[in-house]
Amino acid sequence: MSLILASGSPRRRELLQLLGVPFRVLVADIDETPGSGETPETYVQRMASEKAQAVWTTLTAAERASSVVLAADTTVVLGSRIMGKPVDYDDARRMLLHLSGQTHQVLTAFALATARGVSGDFHCTQVTFKTLSEQEILAYWNSGEPADKAGAYGIQGRGARYIRAIEGSYHSVMGLPLDRVADHLEAAGITLWQEQTVHEF
């Protein structure tokens, strides 16, 4: 079986390479707008499933017979508020001020599409921020890191400076709960610890 990663995230590529699985990348193009009244848990799981299905539908019959599509979605949640990627500095500042000195949740769902259908899993990690100053927020924004990150921060980068505590999976906050993903990949017929190669199309 061959693996397709339905994500353009460089973090997810890095994480998947830790499992030693050859894969190619096909980016899913879907509407990521939350539904009216949709809970964060439902939203993140729906996104992962729809991304996997979107890429699956582009495969030929022969490819479907020998492929597994892996997709994921990560969402930062404070209370019941979903925090996506910031559109500009003011948006990032607003998000980071809300997260400042608070404990929030990072929800990551992943989905596997195979000839047998779509399956997946879900993980929640608690992350506590230090209190941030306006100067820290501006300096962090100017680093360029927050612009493409849910919640306007990256745990694996400079954003690590602002994290007081984490309860759960570090890798899940990055974008993939590796232990659970590995179990599902093996169950789907993917052999781990192969040659690490990535092909983009």
Beta bridge partners of 3: 23, 68
Identify the sign of the CA torsion 184, 55, 7, 71: negative
Q: Helix 89-99 crosses helix 134-142 at what angle (to 10 degrees)?
A: 130
Catalytic, 88? Answer no
Of 29, 31, 73, 121, catalytic? 73
Contact residues for 162 (Cβ-Cβ < 8 A; gap 6+):
129, 130, 132, 136, 140, 153
Classify 1 as helix, strand or coil.
coil
Distances in Å between the alpha carbon of 201 and those of 6, 60, 167, 187? Answer: 11, 15, 37, 26
Classify 188 as helix, strand or coil.
coil
Catalytic residues: 73
